[in-house]
């Protein structure tokens, strides 16, 4: 079975990645926000050698007028040296090209990114994606789904990607992090990647000693009731605020999570935005089913502290994961209804978005998913699906569309959609700050084939090929358009690149395709409904992380 083989081959993959020649030059480029999203960008990468690093960048391909020296961390054994460079003083809504590395060991191939728009409390046009639980499972595999699913999400040109955690199986294991970084780089080097910590991501230790915290450059929580770590943080973009919380650390306070809740309250008060989003791993509301292969609601008793803050500030959407399927609940306001600690949602009406918060469970980014026949009937739940998936949010000033897309190995199509309107603001036309995934998110060909076309890009939207898409593959052409994954010596390519708008990320269609494609595999995981109950019971044994975190 390919998935068993994938998991068993991770140590060998890690050994290859750790070889001096493999990491002598920059490896695993990834973007994130640690400062103002309109005027800065943080670039992170790994090397084996103890060398200095820098980022050279500019607004024209091949011309780098500015240089920023990176900081360097000798990370946990096996991760080598981690370099971070925050580019500041950038222009809002602008495409930049960059290379990272040093003269001693060489520079990366050119990549690109877009800065966010000038911020507003009311107006803004952009897209972002949310997806989570991409880790491969020890029994059923599934890790090879992640680069395809992330590529499919990236082909929509989101400005950034949020992840709800469970990036790896065991956060102590360096080989798993290296595999994740290799799978993630083709998209994350062009589209900022902002994760929240899952229960499988912890260790060793906590805070700055944990692999998760060393690997990702994220904002640190500051002020009263902050942790001083990156375990929970926030950033603002356009007319929205995004807050990542941790349900696996810093649980302290007068009631569980009271300190994080107080910090969240202050952050939302100090950053008034039209749209408000919170994301974390363990669900506020969900459905527990047979053999406990799905977890219960309010597993860490977080609801009593957090839900009153959501209701007070009318958070629009709370994204969670942990359970490997998709659930959307009707707008809920349990604190307003006098029962903030409830493990069941308190519906205020199926479409009363002005009166409550939409809670999503989205755990379908690659790991085994719970089959839909186990969805059952849950009061206040509007939708349940067992498909792999990602969530795409499109904000157009006072209107927001939330679409959930089925993803590899299922059909890449919309499986759920809602639209929320907040009329009342006079907003002019603001350029779309989304990025095209270009070559950085293209699906490459398998051995002996040429990779062309973007990973599941919509017709007419930029996709992208890329060089060295997979072992033995020829260089991709960088042509955008409809989704295409080549295999078996054949070539699949999309249509022409869309014009107009502010698009960045990846190389132009006319470029030779120096950036690598996503290395997507064409093999498909077995569909969940075909699994027997014995297999489901076995899976429940690996769904839970054993080591508790004791930070308060």
Q: What is the DSSP string of 8-73?
A: HTHHHHHHHHHSHHHHSS-EEEEEE-SS-TTT-EEEEEEESS----EEEEESBTTB--EEEEPEEE
d(CA 92, CA 230): 25
* Token digits of residue 307: 């839900």
Contact 365, 163 (CB under 8 A): yes
Contact 249, 98 (CB under 8 A): no
What are the angstrom distances between the C-alpha of 460 and each of 97, 273, 326, 472, 482?
Answer: 23, 32, 28, 29, 7
Contact 98, 109 (CB under 8 A): no
Q: Quickly list DSSP for 143-192.
A: TTHHHHHHHHHHTT--SEEEE-S--SS-TT-HHHHHHHHHHHHHHHTTS-
d(CA 150, CA 130): 10
Cα torsion through 85, 188, 104, 74, rounded to 10: 60
Helices and strands (H and E) in the chain: how many: 9, 22
The pLDDT assigned to 19 comes to 43
The pLDDT assigned to 74 comes to 96
**Alpha carbon 530 to its chain's center:** 28
What CATH number should be reported for the domain whose range is 125-432? 3.60.21.10
The pLDDT assigned to 428 comes to 65
* Token digits of residue 333: 């306001």
The pLDDT assigned to 24 comes to 65
Q: What angle, 0 to 180 degrees and rounded to 10, lies between the N-to-C axes of helices 10-18 and 174-188?
A: 70
Which stretches of 339-468 are DSSP H helices? Answer: none
Q: What is the pLDDT along the chain (552 residues), one digit of tens a residue?
A: 333 334 444 444 444 444 444 446 899 999 999 999 999 999 999 999 999 999 999 999 999 999 999 999 999 999 999 999 999 999 999 999 999 999 888 999 999 999 999 999 999 999 999 999 998 876 665 567 999 999 999 999 999 999 999 999 999 999 999 999 999 999 999 999 999 999 999 999 889 999 999 999 999 999 999 999 999 999 999 999 999 999 999 999 999 999 999 999 999 999 999 999 999 999 999 998 866 677 888 999 999 999 999 999 999 999 999 999 999 999 999 999 999 999 999 999 999 999 999 999 999 999 889 999 999 999 999 999 999 999 999 999 999 999 999 999 999 999 999 999 998 878 865 455 544 433 333 333 333 333 333 333 333 333 333 333 333 333 333 323 333 323 333 333 333 333 333 333 333 333 333 333 332 322 333 333 334 444 444 444 444 444 444 344
**Alpha carbon 305 to its chain's center:** 26
CATH number for domain 20-117, candidates 2.60.40.380, 2.102.10.10, 2.40.128.50, 2.30.30.60: 2.60.40.380
**Alpha carbon 239 to its chain's center:** 20
The pLDDT assigned to 205 comes to 87
The pLDDT assigned to 141 comes to 55
- Output the pTM of the full model: 0.78
Strand order through the sheet with 71-74: 27-32, 41-47, 81-87, 71-74
Q: Quickly list DSSP for 272-297.
A: --SEEEEE-SS-SS----GGG-SPPT
d(CA 237, CA 431): 14
Q: Where are the domains of the chain?
A: 20-117, 125-432, 436-521
* Token digits of residue 437: 């995934």
Q: What three-state secondary structure class fits 107? A: strand
d(CA 71, CA 81): 10
Which of 435, 373, 427 shows the shortest CA–CA distance to 399?
427
Which of 123, 197, 114 shows the shortest CA–CA distance to 157?
114
Q: Which residue has the tokens 């395709």?
A: 513
Q: Could you tell me which residues come within 8 angstroms of residue 302 by beta carbon, excluding any fewer than 6 positions away?
A: 247, 251, 256, 257, 282, 284
**Other CB atoms closer than 10 Å to residue 36's CB: what's the count?**
17
The pLDDT assigned to 139 comes to 63
Strand order through the sheet with 240-244: 233-237, 240-244, 275-279, 317-320, 358-362, 326-329, 381-385
């Amino acid at each position: 079975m390919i998935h068993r083989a994938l998991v068993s081959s991770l140590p060998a993959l890690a050994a290859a990645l750790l070889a001096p020649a493999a990491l002598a030059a920059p490896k695993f480029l990834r973007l994130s926000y640690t400062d103002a999203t309109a005027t800065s960008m943080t670039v992170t990468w790994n090397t084996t050698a103890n060398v200095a690093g820098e980022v050279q960048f500019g607004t024209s391909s091949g011309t780098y007028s500015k240089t920023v020296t990176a900081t360097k961390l000798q990370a946990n054994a096996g991760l080598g040296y981690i370099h971070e460079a925050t580019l500041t003083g950038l222009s809002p809504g602008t495409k930049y090209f960059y290379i990272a590395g040093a003269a001693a060991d060489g520079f990366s191939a050119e990549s690109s990114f877009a800065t966010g728009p000038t911020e507003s409390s009311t107006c803004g046009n952009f897209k972002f994606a949310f997806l989570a639980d991409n880790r491969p499972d020890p029994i059923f595999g599934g890790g090879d789904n992640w680069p395809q699913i992330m590529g499919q999400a990236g082909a929509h040109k989101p400005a950034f990607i949020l992840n709800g955690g469970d990036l790896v199986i065991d956060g102590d294991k360096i080989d798993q992090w290296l595999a994740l970084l290799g799978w993630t780089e083709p998209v994350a080097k062009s589209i900022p990647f902002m994760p929240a910590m899952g229960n499988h991501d912890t260790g060793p230790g906590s805070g700055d000693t944990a692999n998760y915290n060393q690997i990702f450059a994220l904002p640190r929580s500051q002020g009263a009731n902050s942790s001083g770590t990156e375990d929970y943080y926030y950033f603002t973009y356009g007319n929205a605020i995004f807050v990542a919380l941790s349900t696996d650390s810093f649980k302290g306070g007068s009631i569980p999570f009271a300190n994080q809740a107080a910090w969240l309250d202050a952050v939302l008060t100090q950053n008034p935005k039209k749209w408000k989003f919170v994301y974390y791993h363990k669900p506020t509301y969900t459905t527990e089913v047979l053999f406990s292969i799905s977890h219960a609601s309010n597993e860490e008793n977080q609801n009593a502290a957090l839900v009153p803050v959501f209701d007070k500030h009318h958070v629009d959407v709370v994204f969670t994961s942990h359970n490997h399927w998709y659930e959307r609940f009707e707008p809920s306001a349990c604190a307003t209804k006098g029962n903030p600690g409830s493990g069941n949602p308190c519906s205020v009406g199926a479409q009363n978005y002005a009166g409550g918060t939409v809670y999503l469970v989205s755990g379908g980014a690659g790991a085994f998913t719970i089959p839909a026949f186990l969805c059952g009937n849950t009061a206040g739940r509007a939708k349940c699906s067992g498909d792999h998936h990602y969530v795409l949010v499109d904000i157009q000033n006072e209107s927001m569309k939330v679409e959930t897309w089925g993803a590899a190995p299922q059909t890449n199509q919309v499986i759920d959609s809602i639209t929320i309107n907040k009329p009342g603001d006079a907003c002019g036309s603001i350029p779309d700050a989304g990025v095209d995934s270009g070559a950085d998110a293209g699906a490459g060909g398998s051995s002996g084939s040429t990779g062309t076309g973007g990973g599941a890009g919509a017709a007419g939207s930029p996709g992208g090929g890329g060089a060295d898409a997979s072992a033995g593959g020829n260089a991709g052409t960088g042509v955008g358009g409809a989704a295409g994954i080549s295999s078996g010596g054949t070539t699949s390519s999309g249509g022409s690149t869309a014009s107009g708008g502010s698009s960045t990320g990846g190389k132009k269609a006319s470029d030779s395709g120096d950036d690598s494609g996503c290395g997507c595999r064409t093999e498909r995981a077995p569909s969940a409904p075909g699994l027997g109950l014995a297999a489901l019971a076995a899976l429940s044994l690996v769904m839970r992380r054993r080591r508790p975190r004791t930070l308060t």
